[in-house]
Amino acid sequence: MTHASTTELADLSGLARDFFTKEVAPRHEEFAAAGEPDRALYRRAGDLGLLLMSISEEFGGGGATFAHEAVLFREQAYAGDLSMQLGVHAGIVPHYLNAYASPEQKLRWLPKLAAGEWIGAIAMTEPGTGSDLQAISTRAVRVGDEYVISGAKTFISNGATCDLIIIAAKTDPQQGAAGLSLFAAEVGDDTPGFQRGRKLKKIGQKGQDTTELFFDDLRVPAENLLGGVEGRGFVQLMQQLPQERLIVGVAALGAVEAAYDHTLAYVKERQVFGKPLFALQNTRFELAEIVTVIDVMRTFVEDAIQRHVRGELDVKRAAQVKLWCSDQQTQIVDRCLQLHGGYGYMEEYPISRLFVDSRISRIYAGANEVMKDLIARHL
């Protein structure tokens, strides 16, 4: 299954929408209170074939393309509950392993992620470094046939639930970007040298576990150095970040489509001055502008998906998609909330959750200011 037919993607869209709207979104308050989702939902997603769809069937994946993965991320955003961090679990972590792990490691790790038996995370950000990956201070020192890792990470999605984590660490602190390496570590609550910190309290995405992580002489086998050679980490990150940024653009599209649909339904039933809110010129003009931006975003995102499937999505275009789509996401959701009036500020209305959940999109996967700098470098 290499080329995606429209019918195939539509069927997948229906399957994913049913999963998120019936099995995940109704439990939003439960997950927000716990600060993490129910692990069983990862198993359920694995049973449905929704995880690792673009990874080879040899390693437990679906053998399809990123176009299939994009359906998952879009439908999750549309359903309005982001407690499961599937962008990281299915869209980011497996692709580092697929690109840089050995065949034996792929057979060990990827099927577990595909089944939802394990949850994946990636630890780049540190308390003192956000988008500046060259400034990472976590150390990995070779001792015999192991690496000993020490340092701290923060804002780690899936940090409280992960079983497999990719760690960015310095193997040569004197080398700047050239001294960075990536390691895969199998972790549990009782792993020596590994400690999960507190679940961080966020203004949005409250059901998604984001934590601090601490490494105090965490020992990993030397073969868990991804790519097998020290100093390749920065290049590996640069190779994988375009897909991560495209995922942000895809999710932004799902969010604005949901915001528009909720708002259109609301203004047609809400009565103001004796007639539907939709009858007022301002409402109609706002929605006309919004739906036009969404149509442009959809075209832009779908073009980027096709470029990526063909192996042609470059750093500049990925940064443009992330920058523009996340900017539009926050603006459109804000305009849709305004059309709800006071009810838009009430948590029982989906638009309120879309509003707080969307704000992070301009920050993660590289802040939008960094995206502008990346685009400018290619001018």
Three-state SS for 249?
helix
What is the residue whose two structure tokens read 């998952």? 72
Structure tokens given for 46: 């694995």
Answer yes or no: 244 catalytic. yes
Q: What is the DSSP letter of 201?
A: P
Distance in angstroms (rounded) separating the CA atoms of residues 259 and 293: 13
- Where helices occur in 179-232 by DSSP H, the ranges are none
Please check whether residue 378 is in contact with residue 317, taking contact to mean a CB–CB distance below 8 angstroms.
no
Distance in angstroms (rounded) separating the CA atoms of residues 286 and 7: 33
Distance in angstroms (rounded) separating the CA atoms of residues 362 and 371: 10
Residue 168 pairs in a beta bridge with 182
Helix 233-269 and helix 315-339: axis angle, to 10°? 20
Structure tokens given for 244: 């991560």
Q: What is the DSSP letter of 242?
A: H
Burial of 369 (0-12, 13-18, 19+ CB in 10 A): exposed
Q: Find the catalytic residue in 75, 212, 244, 257.
A: 244
Three-state SS for 198?
strand
Q: Identify the CA nearest to 211 among candidates 140, 170, 161, 164.
A: 161
Distance in angstroms (rounded) separating the CA atoms of residues 133 and 319: 16
* Residue 105, amino acid: Q
**83, 85, 86, 92 alpha-carbon torsion, rounded to 10°:** 170
User: Active-site residue numbers?
Assistant: 244
